[in-house]
Amino acid sequence: MSEKRNISRMMDIRELKVKIGDKTILKGLTLELEKGKVHAIMGPNGSGKSTLSKAIVGHYDTEVLDGEIIYRGENIVDKEPEERALDGIFLSFQHPVEVAGVNNAYFLRSAVNAKRRHEGKDELNAAVFLREMKKYVEELGMQPDMISRSLNEGFSGGEKKRNEILQMQMLSPDMIILDEIDSGLDIDALRAVSEGINSMKNGDRSFLVITHYSRILDYIKPDYIHVLKDGKIVHTGGPELVAQLEEEGYESLGEA
């Protein structure tokens, strides 16, 4: 199928229908994500926000029934999760899993070098990698021992989120999805995480911020707000929409 793709778009999601188990969650969702922009998705519980993020990264829970996820001109719905990651899609998980026995540095170096190989670059040797990692760890205000601890094992909620941002910074993805990155963060952690995210803005990179609350949007300024209800985007607006949602709730919004 030949089709002209809009090169200003990072991702084009068209009529996406996704089920988890026996339940269809996304019911024909359409969403356009522009290059270099921050898109925020808000919506009530159970509307499909996390399912959308899972579907984009190819989570095994999700089954795409119909529709397309066009990423940089290519439909990725049949791609493996690692292929999507290597192509530059990154999901910051709401609940990052703990992996005992795999140290943080070893894991992250494996991921960074997998991406570098994919891009035809030389792998980072251990010393250079470690120096780089320590720099980001310091900037994020993480404890230095988190480098050598098992991946997310025994981390507090804030430490886990910082670790997600650390991975994001070192992997330098093009399309960043932040699933409830603000949940469980105190104000200091929220500020550190937000600064990490904002440091990644470069005019080309796109962000999809999934959140329940407007608080994070005080730190990461969105260009667009999308309201997701019952598996579809029902409204799209500018940053001013946040205030309206705060005052009137989701019920006030009809079809986009």
Please tell me the total number of residues recorded for the chain in this structure. Answer: 256
Binding of another protein by 82 (CB under 8 A): yes
Sole residue written with tokens 């999901």? 91
Nearer to another protein by C-beta: 108 or 220?
A: 108
In the complex, what is the shortest distance from the CB of residue 115 to another protein, in angstroms, rounded to a whole number? 5
Residue from 111, 200, 212, 234 in contact with another protein (CB under 8 A): 111
Binding window for another protein (CB under 8 A); candidates: 10-18, 118-126, 219-227, 233-241: 118-126
Shortest distance (Å) from residue 232 CB to another protein = 25
Q: Does 243 bind another protein (CB under 8 A)?
A: no
Q: Are 33 and 12 in contact (CB under 8 A)?
A: yes
How far apart CA 122 and CA 136 sit, in angstroms, is 21
Any contact of residue 150 with another protein (CB under 8 A)?
A: yes
Per CB under 8 A, the list member of 5, 15, 73, 125 interacting with another protein is 125
Does 4 participate in binding another protein (rule CB under 8 A)? no
Binding site for another protein (CB under 8 A): 57, 59-60, 80-82, 85-86, 91, 93, 96-97, 99-103, 105-111, 114-115, 118, 125-128, 130-131, 147-148, 150, 167, 171
